[in-house]
Structure 1
Amino acid sequence: MSTAAVALRSAVHAALSSDGALVALLGGARVYDEPPRRPAFPYVTLGEARATDVSGDMAPTEEHQLTLYAWSRQGGHREAHVIAGALLQALDDAALTLAGHRLVNLRFSLADVRRDADGRTYHALVRFRAVTEPA
């Protein structure tokens, strides 16, 4: 993965961990790159990432797809929907600072909420699209 992808992921993690509305919904800064063995619900994980070179003639440019997951076991699907909304509020068109790179834009692209096979866990998948250039 590129250094831009690593910088983007780090900036997204920092932004979510310090977002007051999201932290309040989660009951703490429960935003994980890799969750602990037995995490307290609800929580958010950074999921899959994809980077594509979309460079033009002027400068190297990358397009990124970053997937976030919100995990809930309370209140049916409602809590997962509310947390997904908080992720959208925190990141859509956010002006994040990336180490060594410039974030051209960060936009919401997809959300999906579903119940897991255990019948009591809901998870929301929220995907964002970003474009980065070297700083």
Structure 2
Amino acid sequence: MVRWNILPATCILNSCIINIYDEGDCIPPHIDHHNFVRPFCKVSFMSKSNILFGKQIDIVDLGEFRGVVEIPLPVGSVFILKGNMADVAKQCISGVRHRRVSVTFYKMDDSKAPYRFQPDPELEELLPYQL
């Protein structure tokens, strides 16, 4: 993503969260932790969904939310979060209609690494994939 200029060279991602949704599963309103450097990105797989944003997100029903902004996330989409969308606005995904997977890629702020954290030497020696 850095090579394709989707993310800046200063943001080589080093961690991720994988969300696996079954039908009806949701992600409640939240702001991603500030220990992760901005920008970060979400990649969608298996089925489309919408992501909702808002300083205040209303809970309509179990797994159903209403935000100020609703953005579609088609299969294979890469969604970059930065600025107020990452730092101020809450985000959520209402209950999905079909099985879905999303991967959120982050860069951990080096100064926020867990106590006594030691990077895996094998992973540190990996080179970027050549296209």
Higher helix content, 1 or 2: 1
Q: Which structure has the higher relative contact order (CA within 8 Å, separation 6+)?
A: 2
Q: Normalising by the residue count of structure 1, what TM-score does the alignment of the two structures yield?
A: 0.29
Q: Normalising by the residue count of structure 2, what TM-score does the alignment of the two structures yield?
A: 0.29
